[in-house]
């Protein structure tokens, strides 16, 4: 257990360095690193304690959100492989969007690609979407209309359909969180 903690803490530290200065999109502008920490914590809550999985969860947005240009991406991938191993790098690469693609194409690609991901990558996808929808409820992105929030939930549900079969309790939690968020958003619509 000490080994797991040491490696995962090192991954969180590395992610914190990479995400330094970044914030979430909500009104509170919480430090971005809180998001990957929540993803790791959620996986632990649902009895996922594999070191590679948790390390990749801590690093899941590092390439996508902190590297610019092919050269920097390649250097970052080499660093992740050197520090955390090729399995962790592979999982991180699986959940990394290609920012060179247009937004809509990237989002559609997530729906199409998720069924072919490794079990580890699917678990991270589910935990990531749970955390994002929780943020949508508690500290929504500034300027997002209820329609846009609903569209995000609908899209996330399509992504998660392709991830099912890896942790039933985690999947059931996603269903509860997405339903609660949808109901909350739409009840505020009807009260206006």
Q: Which residues does the annotation mark as catalytic?
A: 64-65
What is the distance between the alpha carbons of residues 52 and 168, in angstroms, rounded to a whole number?
20
Mapped onto helix, strand or coil, the DSSP state of residue 23 is: strand
Residues constituting the chain: 192
118: part of which helix (H) or strand (E)?
Answer: none
Residue 28 is encoded by which pair of tokens? 């509170």
Residue 111 is encoded by which pair of tokens? 């729906």
What is the distance between the alpha carbons of residues 94 and 57, in angstroms, rounded to a whole number?
11
What is the distance between the alpha carbons of residues 161 and 122, in angstroms, rounded to a whole number?
10
Residue 75 is encoded by which pair of tokens? 């250097």
Q: Which of 46, 82, 75, 43 is nearest to 60 (CA)?
A: 43
Paired with 75 in beta bridges are none
What is the distance between the alpha carbons of residues 189 and 185, in angstroms, rounded to a whole number?
6
Cβ neighbours of 136 (radius 10 Å): 25
């Amino acid at each position: 257990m000490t080994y797991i903690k040491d490696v995962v803490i090192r991954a969180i530290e590395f992610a914190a360095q990479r995400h330094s200065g970044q914030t979430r999109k909500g009104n509170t502008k919480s430090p971005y690193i809180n998001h990957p920490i929540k993803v790791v914590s959620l996986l632990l809550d649902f009895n996922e304690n594999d070191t590679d999985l948790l390390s990749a969860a801590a690093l899941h947005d590092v390439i996508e959100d902190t590297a610019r240009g092919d050269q920097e991406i390649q250097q970052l991938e080499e660093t992740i492989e050197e520090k955390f191993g090729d399995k962790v790098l592979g999982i991180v690469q699986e959940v990394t969007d290609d920012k060179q693609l247009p937004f809509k194409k990237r989002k559609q690609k997530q729906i199409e690609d998720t069924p072919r991901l490794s079990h580890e990558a699917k678990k991270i996808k589910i935990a990531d979407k749970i955390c994002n929808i929780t943020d949508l409820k508690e500290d929504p992105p500034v300027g997002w209309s209820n329609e846009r929030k609903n569209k995000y939930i609908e899209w996330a549900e399509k992504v998660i359909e392709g991830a099912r079969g890896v942790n039933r309790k985690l999947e059931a939690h996603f269903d509860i969180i997405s339903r609660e968020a949808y109901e909350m958003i739409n009840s505020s619509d009807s009260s206006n």
